[in-house]
Amino acid sequence: MSVNGHALRAVQAVRVQCGLPPIVVFVATVVIRLTSLSATGGPESRAARVTGFWSALRPMSSSGVPDASRRSIPCFLADTWWFALTGRLPDERLAELAQLRVAQGFTAVQIVVGIPPEVAPGNRNAWSAVGPAWFADGRPNPGYLARAREKIQYLNEVGLTAIVYGCWGHQLAWLGVPGARRWWEQVVARLDDLDVLYCVTGETNLWIGSEDALLPDRTTDDLRTVAVRTRVPGRAKAALRLVRGAYVRNRHAAALRARRAGWSEVLAGLAASTDRPVLAHPVPGQTSADALDGDDLLAAVTVQTGHDQASRPLLWEWPARVAARFPGRPFINLEPWYEGIRDDFRTADQLFAYWVSMLGGAAAHCYGAHGMWNAGDGSFLSHWGKQSLGEAAGLPTPALLGASHRVLLAAGWPDPAATTTVDADGGRLLSITRTAADGTRTATYFPDASAAGAATTVGGAANAGPASAGTKSAERYFAPDLGEFVPHAVREGPLVVLT
């Protein structure tokens, strides 16, 4: 055995004996294997260097298949990387971001294996280093699929589940139902032994009647109407969405029915081909169960609340609606606000979205940041904002979200049998509480502890410090904006009270 081989075995032995955190084991493995790689001489082709890079990073592990039931939805904290498999995100950068997110507490990424949103298949921003996911005639690109598997296997091995989106709603018009089914067959054949969930399509009913607007090689930067719409104020955008929906239902009723029938057929084929959980990503204003037939094939009822401040109440209203309509079904908001999109939705909004969603009854949470989802440079898809990938990677919010997620899980949440109580004044949330079915545990989130009177609400008027007689001994106070527990409920800013 080589010196590096002995070193790897030693790391694994210490891990078992001392309980080293996975990230420590991973970093040690990276150093050892990259040292071994750099020590080998001789010229390498570009393809060989790429293979060597990923092989060097790959720790000794299994295929990544989870031990739990394949139909269950893990309580993941996911980032959103729609362009991660394109040439916009170099291999080395993808590895750095994966390590960063794992260290921050994330457990999954949403990723497109196919043509990402907002671009046409002929646009080079949609292509990997070996070309597009599929060619103009719909033929799958085997080289693309091989690289997609390699990268997703790497993500698994550092601790990230891949939530794989195979298509986007309007792309059904490009591929046709047979082509979309054929593409999903190829994706499942390549990835099904890895730690993946599948999403049959993003934004099922997007662009009904204008599916070809991007063809052959445009991006939404080239579509003036889209660029203008992203700058419309939130309430006006909500009104326009209603008008647009009514227009589509009347003018394009046949196309809407065909879209629903087509994706429902693709969903049926996908669900029959795998034991992995399958999701669907709807447009704002719908649930996945409204958008498709056969919603019993979906592992969760999902929504997208969208990217405007007017959608704030939907963060607690949608979970309640879903719980009433689909009792016992898991719920996930797959696309709440992206941080930095349209230069909005910063840390306070992201923490709000997390705690309101999870205490509303969500099974998992999805985060996104402009610049990260599009692997942006400040110019690409800049009608959504100019925040770049580097700026998104440097944001403090993901680490705070990871801290919140660890606290939530450690406190025994989520609990699908629990109930939620909301205290709101119009569109302003004062608090939201999740209570276990047997009443033994509660978790309450106050967006602003001082404004909501959390000190008196939680432990009585005397609750002014750690030793307050009115404070229940079992209560613990977590400050999401600090990412740590605090001694008492008296503070300005957000507060989570756990009992």
β-sheet bridge partners, residue 486: 477
Which pLDDT value is given to residue 6? 42
User: Count of CB atoms within 10 A of residue 358's CB?
Assistant: 25
Q: Which amino acid is at 322?
A: V
Mean pLDDT along residues 37-65: 41
pLDDT at position 473, please?
A: 53
469: confidence class by pLDDT, cuts 50, 70, 90: very low
Q: What pLDDT score was predicted for residue 51?
A: 41
CA 423 to centroid of chain Cα atoms: 28
Which has more pLDDT, 459 or 339?
A: 339
Span 369-392, pLDDT tens digits:
999 999 999 999 999 999 999 999
Which H, E and C letters describe 228-255, residue by residue? Answer: HHCCCCHHHHHHHHHHHHHHHHHHCHHH
Average pLDDT over residues 310-332: 95
- pTM for this structure? 0.83
- Mean per-residue pLDDT, 247-264: 87
Q: What is the pLDDT of residue 225?
A: 60
Find the DSSP H helices in 91-141: 91-104
3-state class of 83 per DSSP? coil
Residue 231, pLDDT score: 60
Q: What share of the chain is helix, strand, coil (3-state, %, to 5)?
A: 45, 15, 40
What would the two tokens of residue 455 be? 């000190």
Q: Of the ranges 7-21, 173-187, 291-305, 461-475, which one carries the lowest mean pLDDT score? A: 7-21
pLDDT at 238: 62
Q: Which amino acid is at 242?
A: L
Q: What integer is the mean pLDDT of 52-78?
A: 56
Whole-angstrom distance, CA of residue 198 vs CA of residue 273: 11
Report the CATH fold assignment for 77-410. Answer: TIM Barrel (3.20.20)
Dist CA 154 CA 146 (whole Å)? 13
- Domain(s) labelled CATH 3.20.20.80 in the chain stretch across 77-410
Cα separations in angstroms, 24 against 8, 28, 30, 493: 13, 6, 10, 34
What is the Cα–Cα distance from 214 to 219, expressed in whole angstroms? 6
**Range among 36-50, 56-70, 172-186 rated most confident:** 172-186
**Is the dihedral angle over the CA atoms 242, 248, 249, 250 positive or is it negative?**
positive
Per-residue confidence (pLDDT) for residue 263, from 0 to 100: 98
- For 325-338, how does the pLDDT look when each residue is reduced to its tens digit (9 = 90+)? 999 999 999 999 99
Q: What is the C-alpha radius of gyration for the chain, rounded to an integer number of angstroms?
A: 23
Q: What is the pLDDT of residue 65?
A: 35
